[in-house]
Structure 1
Amino acid sequence: MALWSVATLIQGMVSSFGALIGLRASIGIFEAPSYPINNLVVTRWFPEDERASAIAIYTSGQFLGLAFLTPVLVAIQSYFGWRGLFVISGIIGLVWAAIWYFFYRNPQNHKSINKAELDHIEKGGGLIGKNDVKKEEKKKFDWNDFKQAFIYRKLWGLYIGQFCLGATTIFFLTWFPTYLVEFRGLDFLKSGFLASIPFLAAFFGVLLSGFSSDYLIKKGYSVEIARKTPIIIGMLLSTCIIGANYTDSTFFVILFLALAFFGNGLASIAWIFISLMAPKKLIGLTGGAFNFIGGLAGVVVPIVIGYLVEDGDFSPALFFIGGIALLGFISYTFIVGKVERIVPKK
């Protein structure tokens, strides 16, 4: 986090286009470990029947930040320019990196935790610290392990689904403000406030998904129903983005986009499937592949949308995002299939 914050801050100081692109790429490199590490923290601190809620809470943070800070960020850019926006964002990230470094500890090393809580986490399947993998289970990486992460249909269903989920997110992070200002004709500051509404919808969507999923597990419902239902419904709701093509009303445009991003929030607990389905000794590698393919949406989607809207018409772009969301629904429903642990082939 410190490294990507430094890269963000420096972007506000450079003048070379090449340096700007290099720094943007470095942010992607430095951010890459964040979600796998988030997942590891949740796996250490929470028993299995509480993890969807925990994942929902940390995932909701990005949507909550965007919902309430989008108007603030727009105002900062309006008053201090884009350079000021990068510098201020970088400083905030460095402050939080320092807070995390000094205060976060694994459960067995945390001063405020008691034995009853440690026992509760461990009994529920939590991996409470660095010694949660026995020495005899550790082994050096080999290429067969790498192959195992890519030869199973179920895992490819998860990878494709994560790419589709990322596509909707990337649209809202990159092209959505441009869509409101240039295609819908809203002024810059007003678009900042309206842009916050879909992010707020996603925030409520991801919290609803996580807490309802864990609630269903505790009530005895199957993993199929409890874990997959929010994601499948969410992917279907994300196709609502196409509805914005059929109205000129700002209210209904924002409504359709908010429904789409609410659905994206519902589907954002997908990381739970890595701990449920990945081969036990390959959870980290599988999570990396999952994160990598999902991250490819950040490369592919902005370029494709840029091509689709080059004549100024955003309608094809919304059809594209809606179609990708439908593909995610199909992937989780038919390619992932039954939720079960994968036993590696010998």
Structure 2
Amino acid sequence: MNIKESSIAAPRDEALNVARRGYLRYIILALIFVVTVINYADRAILSIAGTSVAQDVHLDPMQLGMVFSAFGWAYALGQVPGGWLLDRFGARRVYGCSIVLWSLFTALQGLVESLGLMAISAMLFLFVMRFALGLVEAPAFPANSRIVTCWFPTRERGTASSLFNSAQYLAVAIFTPLMAWLTASLGWQHVFFVMGGVGLALGVVWFWFYHEPHQHRRLSGAEMAHMRANGALVDMELNRKSHREPVTWHKLLQLFRHRNLWAVYIGQYCITALTYFFITWFPIYLIKERGMSILEAGFSAAIPAVCGFTGGILGGVLSDYLIRKGAHPSLARKIPFTLGMFLAMGLVLTNFVDANAAVIGLMAVAFFGKGLSAVGWATMSDIAPAGMIGLSGGVFNGLGNIAGIVTPVVIGYVVSTTGSFSDAIWFVALHCLVGLLAYAVIARRFERVVIKE
């Protein structure tokens, strides 16, 4: 065989090897991607229906901000218990129960007007429902991280993690216009009922299809061997059952004593602040500050969402590409994060333009950058202690989602007291700078943390 023939044959051989190994892990990734799309769509319903809900049950901006924050309170508080449940009972059972329960609490929110409650009682009802929603959704992202750690080799983990993390943007891109149309056509109550029903159906699919690597009948021996040889912790769930070690306070406290972990925690807090602005106040900003209708806001919000999804995928692909080219995973995670946070700071420029097209364009660039930065879960998969993947993810996401408490309330307070979103935009943009500094200055070389006995 000459050189030209061998150069052609090499890609063919690689393709055949991939085909023989199988691709079940990509089907698993597609499943958690769809679940995460629905997860974020359910969180975002109130941002689209919020104007109509507030009008019908007589909520002012501060009260609506409190309702938005209820999810963040519960979601943050539920992360460590959710991570413990994952380490104790595994992703299949915990995640499946989470899907079913969050779908029920989504549907129940649609009943608030029919109950005939006064404004303060309606606010309390919605607060409780949003709190319950956040509590039962708490295991979702630690479960995603755990599943990716089990199923994907190190050099594929960045792309896999960025894909499920980017589901939040696709949720907005697809469901925001759909929910806006349902709200305008049938009433906001129907949005909660429809999304709750979709989630319950997805829960059935989850329990039918998802199993851990060592139990999945469709996983070939070749794919299992490939995953194990290249860094996937395929035996993590098996080891969880065979020799479970108790989590002591000593071990837990070490998750708060490593500089690199704190850098990643701060980065997650900052990027989550942008997320909560986007899924709570952004459509209302377009309606109240920019004079758009509900339908216009729904379709306009989809444009930055598509850009965020594109940036999210690109961030993971770039990170994995750098690893394949020989870069240390530490550098491969830091480059897309810091570059993305720099681009996301551009959202502050919306305070200096008048045209709605310019606002959407700037937001699109900002959320492209936010998506590019979405490598935090891949970083956690790289550095979390091997025996505490679920709990580490819970701490990481719990601290990050304190932003889900702070951001909606601060924005609600600013808008209520100033009558404008200008200062709120500055508040959100500042998080981009802090996140950039966390990865660029605080973090050292990312390595897997070893827990000392």
TM-score between the two structures when normalised by the length of structure 1: 0.96
Unaligned 5+ runs, structure 2: 1-98
Q: Name which of structure 1's ranges 89-98 and 142-151 shifts more when overlaid on structure 2.
A: 142-151
Structure 2 residue 106 is matched with structure 1 residue 8: yes
Structure 2 match to 1:226: 332
Structure 2 residue 217 is matched with structure 1 residue 119: no
Structure 2 residue 420 is matched with structure 1 residue 322: no
Letter in 1 for 2:382: L
Structure 2 residue 302 is matched with structure 1 residue 208: no
- Paired with 2:261 and 2:162, the residues of 1 have a C-alpha distance of 21
Task: Identify which of 308, 331, 334 aligns with 2:438.
Answer: 331
Identity of aligned residues (%): 40
Task: Identify which of 344, 356, 374 aligns with 1:238.
Answer: 344
The 8 Å contact of residues 107 and 194 in structure 2, kept in 1 or not, is answered as yes
Change in Cα spacing, 1:177 to 1:100, as seen in structure 2 (3 Å) is: same
Task: Identify which of 262, 265, 271 aligns with 1:156.
Answer: 262
Structure 2 match to 1:55: 161
RMSD: 1.5
- Paired with 2:130 and 2:167, the residues of 1 have a C-alpha distance of 22
The 8 Å contact of residues 183 and 312 in structure 1, kept in 2 or not, is answered as no
Unaligned 5+ runs, structure 1: none
The 8 Å contact of residues 251 and 451 in structure 2, kept in 1 or not, is answered as no
- Paired with 1:153 and 1:216, the residues of 2 have a C-alpha distance of 24
Structure 2 match to 1:342: 449
Task: Identify which of 365, 374, 379 aligns with 1:273.
Answer: 379
Letter in 2 for 1:103: F
- Paired with 1:216 and 1:93, the residues of 2 have a C-alpha distance of 37
- Paired with 1:278 and 1:119, the residues of 2 have a C-alpha distance of 23
Structure 1 match to 2:412: 306
Letter in 2 for 1:273: T
Shift of 1:135: 4.4
Rg larger in structure: 2
- Paired with 1:46 and 1:93, the residues of 2 have a C-alpha distance of 26
Shift of 1:43: 1.2
Matches within 5 A, 1:49-128: 49-128=155-234
Task: Identify which of 25, 30, 39 aligns with 2:131.
Answer: 25
- Paired with 1:107 and 1:140, the residues of 2 have a C-alpha distance of 23
- Paired with 1:5 and 1:134, the residues of 2 have a C-alpha distance of 29
Shift of 1:134: 8.3
The 8 Å contact of residues 251 and 452 in structure 2, kept in 1 or not, is answered as no
CA deviations over 1:153-178 (Å, ceiling 9, x no partner): 22111111101000001001011011
Letter in 1 for 2:111: M
Shift of 1:323: 0.5
Shift of 1:95: 0.8
- Paired with 2:134 and 2:234, the residues of 1 have a C-alpha distance of 29
Structure 1 match to 2:251: 145
Shift of 1:19: 2.4
Structure 2 match to 1:288: 394
Letter in 2 for 1:304: V
The 8 Å contact of residues 149 and 285 in structure 1, kept in 2 or not, is answered as no
- Paired with 2:181 and 2:428, the residues of 1 have a C-alpha distance of 28
TM-score between the two structures when normalised by the length of structure 2: 0.74
SS of alignment partner, residue 12 of structure 1: helix
